[in-house]
Structure 1
Amino acid sequence: MIIADETPTLARWKGILRAVRRDGTPALFLIGATALFFWPLWIAGYRFPKGGGDLWGQLYPVWSFVAEELRRGVLPLWNPRMLGGDPIFSEGQYGLFNPLNWPLFLASPIPPGWVLLRGAFSLWLAGVGMYVYLRRSPIWRLGRSAALTGALAYMFSDPFVVHLGHPQFNDAMAWLPWALAGVDQAARRTHRIPLGALPIALLLLSGHGQAALYGMIAVGLYAFGQAVEGGWPRGFYRIGRLALAGLLGIALAAPSLLPGLERLPMTDRAGVPLEQRRGYEFPPAMLIDFLSPLFHGRGADQFWLPANRVESGYAGSVTLYLALLGVFGTLRFRWTWGLIGLGTLALLFSLGYQGPLYPALARLPLFSETWKTARAIYLVSFALAIAGAMGVEQLRRLRPRTVILWAMALSMGGLVLWGIAPRWAAEAPEGPARARAVTGLRFAAFLAWGTALSSWAISQGRTWLRPALPLLLTAELVALGATAEAEPSPPHRDPHPQALRFLRADPGWFRVDVDPAARDLWPPIALQMAGFEVPQGTGNPMELREFNILRWWIPSATHPAYRMLGVKYIVVPKGAPPGGEGIWPVFVDDPAIDIHLHTRALPRVWLVYRTEVVGHYGEALKRVLDEHFRPEEIAVVQNGPRLNGEGRGRIGVARYSPNEVILDVETDAPALLILSDTFYPGWQATVDSLRVPIYRTNAVFRGVEVPPGRHRVTLRFRPGSLRIGLGMAMIGGLMGLVLGVAGKRRR
C-alpha cells in the first residue's frame, strides 16, 4: 500500500487545528472569567457604570439615534437632536466608525443588555489579545499558564474597570496587544504587513484620542525595538516594513482621524487656555493602590483623596508579586529593560505637571490636548501584566531552590504587610474608609501567602497545580472589581408619558429646552431619546465650543438671542412661575414638571432683508447678545452679503433629515435665508441646483442668500475631510491587499 506524502497545505491546516486544540482551553477559560467578572449583571440584574456615566449619558442617546436612522436607510453624519446640530461622524468617542459598535446600530431600539454585552466584550477582547501576543510573540514565547495569567491581569486591571462607562477607551486598550502582535508579524514578513496594519487601524478607530495616542506611542517604541534588534541589514528592512504597516494602519483609520483633527480646534476642550489644562493627574500617593485599590477607595463614591478620581493602575497584587520575580529573573534579557522603560515613562507621564516628563511635552501638538495624563497609567498596568506573566514562566525555568527562597521572602513580606496595615491605613479618614484600607492591605498579605504557596508547589514539579496562579488571580480581581462599577438597573419606562403625548401632539418643527432647575426631573438626553431636538448637548467636552458659548451666555429666555434657538417649549419644575413676557404654562398635568410655551420664538428657518457684516465670531457674538438686537429683522453675517431692503416671503420645508435640508422659498426681494442649525465645514448649499456659499450668520447659524422669486434651496452635508479619509482608506486597503498577495507569492 502506497501512502502519499502530506501536501504543505494539508500540513499547515493540521498545525492550525493542533494549535486550536492546544489553546482552546485557555480561550474558554477567558470567556468563563469574563462571565464571572460580570456576575452582577447576569445574576443580580445590575448595570454599569455607577451613575450612568458617559455610556448612558453621552453614548447611548447618540447610538440610539444612529440605529434609528439606519433603520430608515440613512447613515447619519449629523445629529440635529442636540445643540444646534452636531457632526457626530467627527467625534470619535461616539464611535460611528468603530466596528465594535456596528452590531448595536443594527437594532432599534437598542436593548440595554446589548450595550452591557458590548462593554464586557472589550475586556474579553483585551484578554484574548494579550494571551495570543504572549504565546505567539517571538519576543516572549510564554507557556499557556503564563500567558493566561498576563491576559487576566490586563483585562481586569483598574483602567478597564474605571472605564466600563466609556467602552471606546477600553477598545483602544484592548487593541494594544493585538497591535503589538501585528508588529511582530509585519517586522518579519512582507506579506504580513496587512496583519500589522489592521490592528493599528482598529486601535485608532476605537475613538478615544488619549488612549489611542498612548497606545500608538507604545506601538512605536516596540517597533523601534524590533528594528534595532534586527541588526544590519535586517533591521533596515524591518524599519521599512514596519513604517509601511504604520502608514497603512493610519490610512485605514483616516475616515475617523481626519474629521476628528478638523473638529478638535472647534471644541470646548480646545478652548481651555494652556495654563489651565491641569487636573486628572496621577497622585503619587496612589502608588500604594497598585497593591490594593481599596486603600483609597474603589469607585468614585468611596474615593477619599482630594485629587480627581483616577484609575490606580492596579492589576492584582498577585500580578505585582509575580512581576517582581519575572523582572529580577530576567534582568539579562534586553526586552525586560524595555518593559521597565515603558512602565517608567508611562508612570512619569501620568504624573502630569507633578512629574518631569509632561511639562516638556505639554506644548507639543496632540499632547497639549491630552492633559488628563493619569489615563496613561494603563500602560503601567500593561507592563505589569507582561511582567507577571514572565514571573509565572520563571517558576518553570528557575531552580527549585531559587523559587523556594523567593517564596519564603514573599511569605515574610506578607507577614510584615499584615502587621503594618493598620499603621499605613492611619492616613485614611476614620470610619469605613480606614476599615477598607486595612482590609485591602491584609487581603494583599493573604494573597502573598497564597502566591508563595502556589509557586513552591509548582517549583516542585506538580504540573497539575499550574492553573493555581491564574485561578488565584481571577479570584482576587473578581472579588475586588466585579461590583466596583455595578449598580441596580433603573426601571425602563418613559418618563412623563402625559407630557410626551402633549409634545408629540404638536406637528410643528421646534426645539424643546429644559430649564437648569428641571434637568434632574427630565434630562435633555431623555427628550433626545424620545425624538425631540434640544439646544443642550450630552456634556461631552468635545462639543462645539462656539454654539455652547452663545447658548450659555444668553441671559434669559426673554432675551432676543434666545428667540433664534427655535425653542417653542420649555420644561420647568412643577409650579415654576412663567419665565417672562410671552412665556406661559400650557401643560400642568404632570406631578413633577410643567411645560411653558414660548410664544415669541422664531421658526426654525426664516428670512431677513437687512444684514450687518462683521469680520469674526467675537464681533458677531457681541452684537447678537445685545438686548436691542432684533433677529427677525436683521442678521449679523460674517464676511457675507450686505442687504438693506424690505420684503416678504414664504418658506416650505420639503425635507429635513440628518444629512440634507430641502426648502421651497418664495420672496419678493433679495433675502438671507437663516437656518437655526450650527454652521460647520462640509455643508454645501444650492439654489435651484446652482452652488452658492453658506455664511456664518448670527454667530453660529447658517445663512444662504436667496434672490427674488421662487426657488428650491438645498443644503447637504458632504464633509471634505470624510471624503479624503475614505479615499485614503480605499487606497490603503488596496495596497494592503497587493502587499499580502504579492508578498505571499514571492515567498
Structure 2
Amino acid sequence: MSDRVRQFTEFIRRRWPLLVMPAVILAVFAPFITPPSGYLLFGDDFFRSYGFFRQYFARSLSGGEMPWWNPYLFSGMPFAANPSVSFWYPPNLLYLILPYGTAYIMILIFHIAVAAAGVYYLLRKAMRPGTGELPAAAAGITFALSGYFSARIWSGHVDTIAAQSYMPWVVGAMFLLWQKPSVRRLAAASLALAVQIYAGYQTMAMYTLEIVALAVMLFSLYRKSLRPLVLTAAAVIGGLGFAALQMIPNWEFFGRSIRTFPMPYEYLSRGSLVWGSLIQLLYPFHWGDQYSFRGPPPNYGEQAMYVGVVGIVLAVAALIIYLPKFFEFPGARKKDENIIYVAIFAAAAVISVWLALGPNAPYDLNRFLWEYVPLYRGIRHPSRHLIQFVLAASVLTGVGLSRVKHRFLQLMLTALLIADMGIFARHFLELKPAPETRHDRLLVAGLTGGGGPYRLLQNFGTWVPPRDALDFDAAVVYGIFSATGYDPSILRNYYEFADAVNGNPGTGILEHNVQIPYLNTASPYIGFLNIRYILVPIGYDPVGGSPDRYSLIAENPQEGYRLYENRSVSPRFFAVKTVTILPARSDVAAAVRSNTGDISETVYAASGDVSNDAATQPSDCKSGSDVRIVLSEYTVNRITLKTQSDCNAVLASSEVMYPGWTASIDGRPAKLFESNLAFRTLILPRGTHTVEMRFVPRTVAFGLSITFGTALLFAFILRTDAFRKGV
C-alpha cells in the first residue's frame, strides 16, 4: 500500500464524521438535483418572485447591461438596490452560467451545507474546549435540516436561507476573536458579517448581532474584561464597511419604501407564537403542515422550529449537566470552559422564544424593542426570532451528545437524530411544474406584441388564482411593463399615488403590503399611468360595467380571468400646458384624490419639489400649440426622446421618480422634478430637442468607495502586522 493511500485511509478512519454532513445533505436533496424537464424543487416565493428576479439579473448581465433599474414592476423601481435581489452576492453569479433552475438548487444546497459546516466549525473550533467531530457534525445537520430551514425551502425564502446559513460563522468568528485577539481574526469576523449582509434579508444579520451582543456581555463578565466589547465594536464596524456596497443602496431604497409607513404594533406582532406552539418541538405537525396548518397566523413556515426529538432531549441534557456549574462560575472555568458557551446559548434560546411570543409573553419584550429600537418598527412576525432558538438548540444538541461517553450509544443517538431530521426535511421538498409552464402563452403573447410601451394592471390580490396565468413578477422575464407587482418593498411615493387615485386620505398598507391597492378603474389616472391592459378575475370584475372606456379582448374561464383594453390610455411621455404648484405634498395628494383636474392639461407639484424652470418660466402653450414627443430609445437605465414644440411645455411622464435619475436636453443638464406625487417631470423649451433620462445610482459609488477603503485599511493593517511580527 502506497503512503498516499495509507494516509487517505487513516484520514477516513479518523475523520469520517466530516463526511457525514455532505453525505446526509446529498441523500436528502439527491432526487431534486436533476428534476425532469419542466419541473423544479418547489419554493413558493421563488416560484412567484425571486426566480423571476434571478432570471432578469442573469439576462441583463449576459446582455452587457447593468440592471440598476427595474422598469417592469410598479411603473419602475430600483433593482440592484432591492434587498430581495442580493445583487452583489457572489454565488448568484451561478445564474449567469447555469439554467436558472439548476443554479437555484445548487445555491440552495450550498447554503444548507454552509449552515451545517458553520455549526460544526462553531463547536469544533470556536468553543474551548470543542466537542468531538461526530457531535459537531450531528449538530450541524440538526441546524441545517431544522424547521427554520426546511419549511423555508417550501416557502421559497431563498434570501432568508442564504443569510441565516452564515449565522454560526459570524458567532464563531466573534468567539475566536475574543479568545485570542489578532488582526487576522478581526478581519475574519468582519468579513463573516459582511458576507451575511451580502447574502440578503439583512434582518438575519440583526438577529445574529443580537446573539453576539448577548454573548459579548456574558463573555466580558466571565473574563472580567471590556476588551471583548471593544473588539466586537471594531468587527461590526469593519463588517459594515465591507458591506457598504450593498448596504448603502439598500438603505436608501428602504428609506423611500413603504417600510417607512408607521405601522401599529398590533399589526407587526401578528405572527407571534402562542404557548401551545412549543408542542411543535416534539410533534412538528401537531397543527398541520405547510398545506393544512391551523395554528397561529400567518403560516407553518413562520412558526417552524423543529430540531428533532433527540435534539431537544440532548439539548436539555446539556443544560442539566451544566446547570450546577452555573452557580460555581469562576471555579468551573479551569475545569470546563464550555460553561460560558452553554450559558450563552441557553440564554439565547430562552430570550429568542420570549421575543417570538410577542404579546403572548408575560412581559412583551418584543414590544419594548419596537418602542425603543427604530429598526424594529418595520419588522413583522416576532416568530422569526426562532432562528436564534434553532441555532442555540442545535449547538446545545452537540454539547449534550459530546457528553455521551459510550461510543455505541453516541452513534445510535446520532443515527436516530439524522433519520429524524432527514425524514422531516424531505416532507418540505417536492417537485412542481416550473412557473413558466403554467403561464398562459396566448396572454403573454398578446401583452408583449403591438406598439407601446404600455402597461398592464393586474387588479386583484397576489393570492387570487388568475395569478397562475401570469405571475405578477413574471413581467420582468417577459418584458411586460406592469403597474403593480409582488414585493414587500414598494416605493412609498408610488404607493401614496395609488392611495390618492383611490380617494384614500390614509393608506392601504395594512391591507396591501406586497402590492399596491386595487386601483379605481374609473379614475382618469388609469390612463395617465399608461395602463392599456387590465387583468381581473371573472368573479370580481369592476371593469365590465364601463364599456365606454374599456373593451373586453380576452376571457379564459379555465384560468378565471378577463383582459380589458383601456381606450383612453395616455402615452408614457406627453406634454401638458402647466404645472399647478401647490404649497405642500399633502395638497398634491388632495388634488389627485379629487380626480377633478384635466390630466392632459396640468400636473401637480409641491412647491419644494419643482425646478426653478417650472417656477420662473411657466409654460406658454395654448390650445392650438403643436408639441410632438417621440420615444426613440427605452432601455433599463436610459430613455431618449425626440421632441418638437412651438411653445415652452411641460414634459410629463408616468415614470417613477427616484434619486439617481438625471435628465439632459441636447446634452445640457436639465432639472427633473416630481409631479403627481411620484413621477418624473421637466420643463421642455420650445424648439427641436433630444431629451435623455439616465439612471446612475450615486449610492453605489459611495458604497463602493467605503467598501474599497475598508479593504485597503485592513490590507494595510494586516501587512503592517505581518511586517512587525517578521521583524
* TM > 0.5: yes
Q: Which of 106, 115, 124 is equivalent to 1:117?
A: 106
Aligned equivalents of 1:159, 1:521: Cα separation in 2: 31
Q: Which of 79, 92, 96 is equivalent to 1:101?
A: 92
Q: Which of 172, 183, 188 is equivalent to 1:190?
A: 183
Q: Which of 326, 340, 349 is equivalent to 1:343?
A: 349
Paired residues of 2:273 and 2:296 also in contact (CA < 8 A): no
Tell me by how many angstroms 1:201 deviates. Answer: 0.3
Aligned equivalents of 1:737, 1:296: Cα separation in 2: 53
Tell me by how many angstroms 1:390 deviates. Answer: 0.6
Equivalent residue, structure 2, for 1:635? 603
Map 1:363-512 onto structure 2 (within 5 A): 363=371, 364-396=373-405, 458=406, 463=407, 466-484=410-428, 486=430, 488-490=432-434, 492-493=436-437, 495-512=439-456
Q: Which of 707, 717, 725 is equivalent to 2:695?
A: 717
Residues 1:584 and 2:548 are matched in the alignment: no
Tell me by how many angstroms 1:175 deviates. Answer: 0.4
Deviations 1:148-181 (A, max 9, x none): 1110111111111222211211122110111122
Aligned residues: 658
Q: Which amino acid aligns with 1:120?
A: I
Aligned equivalents of 2:433, 2:10: Cα separation in 1: 41
Map 1:592-671 onto structure 2 (within 5 A): 595-639=563-607, 640=610, 641-642=614-615, 643-646=618-621, 647-671=625-649
Tell me by how many angstroms 1:269 deviates. Answer: 3.5
Paired residues of 1:283 and 1:307 also in contact (CA < 8 A): no
**Partner-residue secondary structure (3-state), 1:362:** helix
Equivalent residue, structure 1, for 2:510? none
Structure 2 CA distance for partners of 1:230 and 1:739, relative to 1, 3 Å: farther
Residues 1:326 and 2:318 are matched in the alignment: yes
Aligned equivalents of 1:182, 1:270: Cα separation in 2: 33
Deviations 1:435-459 (A, max 9, x none): xxxxxxxxxxxxxxxxxxxxxxx2x
Aligned equivalents of 1:186, 1:661: Cα separation in 2: 50
Deviations 1:505-538 (A, max 9, x none): 3142111223438445433333442111111111
Equivalent residue, structure 1, for 2:215? 222
Aligned equivalents of 2:125, 2:577: Cα separation in 1: 70
Structure 2 CA distance for partners of 1:138 and 1:500, relative to 1, 3 Å: closer
Equivalent residue, structure 1, for 2:303? 311
Segment drifting more, 170-179 vs 52-61:
52-61
Equivalent residue, structure 1, for 2:333? none
Q: Which of 191, 198, 201 is equivalent to 1:205?
A: 198
Tell me by how many angstroms 1:216 deviates. Answer: 1.7
Segment drifting more, 92-101 vs 359-368:
92-101
Equivalent residue, structure 1, for 2:491? 544
Deviations 1:363-421 (A, max 9, x none): 2210122232110011111111111101111113xxxxxxxxxxxxxxxxxxxxxxxxx
Aligned equivalents of 1:589, 1:219: Cα separation in 2: 55
Q: Which amino acid aligns with 1:162?
A: A
Tell me by how many angstroms 1:675 deviates. Answer: 2.4
Aligned equivalents of 1:18, 1:735: Cα separation in 2: 44
Tell me by how many angstroms 1:240 deviates. Answer: 4.0
Aligned equivalents of 1:82, 1:173: Cα separation in 2: 28
Tell me by how many angstroms 1:560 deviates. Answer: 0.9
Equivalent residue, structure 2, for 1:75? 66
Gapped runs of 5+ residues in structure 1?
1-15, 397-457
Residues 1:562 and 2:534 are matched in the alignment: no
Aligned equivalents of 1:725, 1:615: Cα separation in 2: 35
Aligned equivalents of 2:680, 2:493: Cα separation in 1: 13
Equivalent residue, structure 2, for 1:429? none
Paired residues of 1:190 and 1:241 also in contact (CA < 8 A): no
Equivalent residue, structure 1, for 2:366? 358
Q: Which of 288, 293, 296 is equivalent to 2:284?
A: 293
Structure 2 CA distance for partners of 1:103 and 1:39, relative to 1, 3 Å: closer
Q: Which amino acid aligns with 1:610?
A: T
Aligned equivalents of 2:592, 2:10: Cα separation in 1: 68
Q: Which amino acid aligns with 1:125?
A: V
Deviations 1:289-330 (A, max 9, x none): 11221222232x222224432323221111111112222222
Paired residues of 1:281 and 1:352 also in contact (CA < 8 A): yes
Deviations 1:477-521 (A, max 9, x none): 122221235353357537333343333331421112234384454
Aligned equivalents of 1:186, 1:177: Cα separation in 2: 14
Aligned equivalents of 1:306, 1:273: Cα separation in 2: 20
Aligned equivalents of 1:27, 1:705: Cα separation in 2: 67
**Partner-residue secondary structure (3-state), 1:384:** helix
Structure 2 CA distance for partners of 1:526 and 1:137, relative to 1, 3 Å: closer
- The RMSD of aligned alpha carbons is 2.8
Calculate the TM-score normalised by the size of structure 1: 0.82
Q: Which amino acid aligns with 1:353?
A: P
Q: Which amino acid aligns with 1:372?
A: H
Q: Which of 150, 157, 160 is equivalent to 1:166?
A: 157
Deviations 1:576-634 (A, max 9, x none): 74743232244569975554332210001111121111244332222123333221111
Deviations 1:525-583 (A, max 9, x none): 33442111111111x22222332343364454342111111112233567974743232
Q: Which amino acid aligns with 1:161?
A: S
Aligned equivalents of 2:558, 2:413: Cα separation in 1: 57
Equivalent residue, structure 2, for 1:245? 235
Q: Which amino acid aligns with 1:645?
A: D
Q: Which amino acid aligns with 1:395?
A: V
**Partner-residue secondary structure (3-state), 1:661:** strand
Tell me by how many angstroms 1:673 deviates. Answer: 1.3
Equivalent residue, structure 1, for 2:470? 522
Paired residues of 1:27 and 1:128 also in contact (CA < 8 A): no
Aligned equivalents of 2:698, 2:194: Cα separation in 1: 21
Aligned equivalents of 1:23, 1:670: Cα separation in 2: 82
Tell me by how many angstroms 1:665 deviates. Answer: 2.3
Q: Which amino acid aligns with 2:485?
A: G
Aligned equivalents of 1:594, 1:330: Cα separation in 2: 65
Q: Which of 455, 473, 481 is equivalent to 1:533?
A: 481
Aligned equivalents of 1:61, 1:23: Cα separation in 2: 45
Gapped runs of 5+ residues in structure 2?
1-6, 326-338, 503-518
Paired residues of 1:63 and 1:105 also in contact (CA < 8 A): no
**Partner-residue secondary structure (3-state), 2:322:** coil
Equivalent residue, structure 1, for 2:141? 152
**Partner-residue secondary structure (3-state), 2:703:** helix
Paired residues of 2:167 and 2:208 also in contact (CA < 8 A): yes
Calculate the TM-score normalised by the size of structure 2: 0.84
Tell me by how many angstroms 1:227 deviates. Answer: 4.7
Aligned equivalents of 1:371, 1:590: Cα separation in 2: 37
Aligned equivalents of 1:743, 1:21: Cα separation in 2: 37
**Partner-residue secondary structure (3-state), 1:296:** coil
Calculate percent identity across the aligned residue pairs.
Answer: 20
Paired residues of 1:192 and 1:740 also in contact (CA < 8 A): no
Aligned equivalents of 2:603, 2:15: Cα separation in 1: 67
Paired residues of 2:48 and 2:472 also in contact (CA < 8 A): no
Structure 2 CA distance for partners of 1:471 and 1:739, relative to 1, 3 Å: farther
Paired residues of 1:206 and 1:212 also in contact (CA < 8 A): no
Q: Which amino acid aligns with 1:358?
A: N
Paired residues of 2:269 and 2:381 also in contact (CA < 8 A): yes
